Amino acid sequence: MTKFHPFWLLPALLALHSCASVKPKTAFDAAKVPPAPDYSLMENWAAHPDKEDPADMSPDPSLSPDLQKDAPVDVFFLHPTTYTGALRHQRNWNASITDERTNRKTDNGTIQYQASIFNGAGRVFAPRYRQAHLHVFFTKKDTVAAKKALEVAYADAKAAFQHYLKYWNNGRPFILAGHSQGGLHTKTLLQQLVEDKDLEQQLVSAYIVGWPVAEKEFRKLKPCEKPDQVDCYCTWRTWERRFGQRLKEDQKTVCTNPLLWHTKPNEYAAKSLNKGAVIRPFNRIYPQSTDAEVHKGILLASKPKFKGSALFFSKNYHPGDFNLYYMNVRENAQTRARAFSRR
């Protein structure tokens, strides 16, 4: 990875899974899974309104101030995979909550660059969890182990959400948001604990980003079709425009356009509607960085413009699903929070 690599997460996303040296070194063993986190301990939260953390940061406080202190809404955020096996000790099926290097990668990456999007809409809660190793998403041989590792990760996500509800929610409306592995667990939380339950009355909206959501994934919950709609979800996965047009994606997969905030296919949103990407450095906002168009269940985007972008050749924009549309997502979360309050 060169120093100009724009995205802060999964720096060798497509290369890592093909390298045998980064795979878990043993078979999955439930007895060797790291201990479950105690969510009454503040150190087991990557972001929490009662502590200073990277989710409190802003790329430009004059344009996007931290408004958590007086927010009437909460945000429960699940971070993506940062346990990639890049280091010798990262060879288990699930990360340990006490893995300092993984925690730093999480905090300085996804918490700062993604969770901070939502500090203008609500108090941000982001648990650490025993995330599954990156290998689980690519293996064709270790599928049983992969399933078990993801079950461990989801058990933590569920426990953290239930702890948040019991001790800190106090009937407040909330946004659920997650990216990639965090998007998967966000989807499952919605299915199991929110949809068709009394709790759904408190749901402002959900952002299930970087993970596919089929049209019939939910019994009742619908995709958002207006920027101020509540009790709905948004979801997208981003690819370079020309490359993405050649992919055989399923049109029955839901995809939201984060510049237009509906799911209509083949409706082009020009980059002039993009209020700002946040890539690197964090204190730099890039207005009109890229465009957006829903096409066969995925989001197409032209090559983004930012410092060093001439050296960026990836066609998979997954690591930047949120960041390419940072300011638009931030504004939209605020819009939905206000709409819920008016309702």
What's the CATH code of the domain at 191? 3.40.50
Decide: residue 2, CB within 10 A, 0-12 exposed, 13-18 middle, 19+ buried.
exposed
This prediction has a pTM of: 0.93
Q: Is residue 102 part of a domain?
A: yes
Q: Do the beta carbons of residue 217 and residue 191 sit within 8 Å?
A: yes
pLDDT of residue 22: 78
Q: How many CB atoms lie within 10 A of CB 9?
A: 25
Residues of the chain predicted below pLDDT 50: 1-21
Domains of the chain: total? 1
Q: Is residue 267 part of a domain?
A: no
How many angstroms separate the CA atoms of 325 and 274, rounded?
A: 7
Give the residue among 39, 66, 171 at the shortest CA–CA distance from 122: 66
Q: Is residue 93 part of a domain?
A: yes
- Provide the domain limits for residue 179: 17-237+321-342
Q: Is residue 128 part of a domain?
A: yes
pLDDT of residue 93: 95
Q: Is residue 48 part of a domain?
A: yes
Chain mean position to CA 129: 14
Q: Is residue 99 part of a domain?
A: yes
Q: Is residue 316 part of a domain?
A: no
Q: Is residue 164 part of a domain?
A: yes
pLDDT of residue 312: 83
